[in-house]
Amino acid sequence: MRANSANRKMRSNHKAAARAGSSKSLQKAMHILFYMGQHGPETRIAEIASGLRLNKTTVYRLLSALERLDLVQRDPENERYRLGLKLHELGTKAVRARTLQSESRRYLKEMAHVCNEAVSLAVPSPSGVVCLERFDSPRTMISVRTPVGALFPAHCSAAGKAVLAYLSEEDVDAILLTNHLTRYTANTHTRVAELKNDLRRVRQRGYALDEQELECGLNGVAAPVISQDARVLGAVGIAGPTQRFQGKDLAEKIDLVKMTAQRITANLGDPGSWFEK
């Protein structure tokens, strides 16, 4: 009985040691890929070993395993290694899976829960500014609703202006030419010069306001989602009754949309940092 128990314990210890060894090998292999991504396009075994403070034999063994998986490629002429095309394939699939809509959804839900207002995500398109996602709150009463897939009135909605403000002058002019500056209320901008002055203010302060420009009694605030390479990807916005967009309430909503936009940007990540440790 004691012998059987000892044998089981020994086998268990061996399995645990094997798992620990595999985990450490995996970590080392990942560090090798990260190092190659940072110090490429091609590196030698000695460079990797020195940079990561690993044994050359260990580096060679792990590179051979990565090569069999097409994660690295070896140049037989100079014995240098470079990242394999399989990583490009995986990276492309990762980018496709992480769309702005899917990555924004949970942050929009959180924002709607915090502010108890209707929230939306708008994105630029050749024909204007499109509603990509929205969540409505039962607390707010909004008669003008922009369904997912519909065009935002870009010149008189907070989300629309937050997008326009960061597009090129040519793109803005093309959108305005297509959609016109339709008057919805006495506060709607119907002159291009007035709207462009408003867009300059949006860029200065980092958020846009809709002060009953689309509908009387309806206000909104939105902030742009800016990519790591300074392109506008879209805008997140909050809309609701005018009385809830004043003073401290408005200041809190401004902070909320700006913070949400920053969180979405951070979550989308920077492709250039994929190989950082």
Measure the CA–CA gap between 269 and 38, rounded to whole angstroms.
17
Q: What is the pTM of this model?
A: 0.64
Q: Which residue has the higher pLDDT, 236 or 89?
A: 236
Kindly give, in sequence order, each residue whose CB lies less than 8 Å from that of residue 93, ignoring residues fewer than 6 positions away: none
Domains, the chain: 2-94 (1.10.10.10), 98-272 (3.30.450.40)
Measure the CA–CA gap between 134 and 147, rounded to whole angstroms.
8
Token pair of 261 as six digits? 């936009």
Burial zone of 96 (CB within 10 Å; 0-12 exposed, 13-18 middle, 19+ buried):
exposed
Residue with tokens 């951070």: 266
Kindly give, in sequence order, each residue whose CB lies less than 8 Å from that of residue 136, ignoring residues fewer than 6 positions away: 112, 118, 142, 145
Q: Do the beta carbons of residue 72 and residue 83 sit within 8 Å?
A: yes
Q: Give the tens place of pLDDT for each residue, 233-244.
A: 999 999 999 999
Q: Give the tens place of pLDDT for each residue, 105-157.
A: 999 999 999 999 999 999 987 667 888 888 887 666 555 567 787 888 889 99
Per this entry, what is the length of the chain? 277
Token pair of 94 as six digits? 């990762």
Q: If you compute the radius of gyration of the chain from its CA atoms, what whole number of angstroms results? A: 27
Measure the CA–CA gap between 29 and 215, rounded to whole angstroms.
58
Task: Count other Cβ atoms within 10 Å, centred on residue 232.
Answer: 19
Q: Give the tens place of pLDDT for each residue, 5-53.
A: 555 555 555 454 445 556 788 899 989 998 988 887 889 999 999 999 9
- The pLDDT value recorded for residue 180 is 84
Bridge-based pairing state of the strands 232-241 and 118-125: antiparallel
Token pair of 216 as six digits? 């009387």
- The pLDDT value recorded for residue 25 is 86
Bridge-based pairing state of the strands 80-83 and 218-226: unpaired
Measure the CA–CA gap between 261 and 86, rounded to whole angstroms.
32
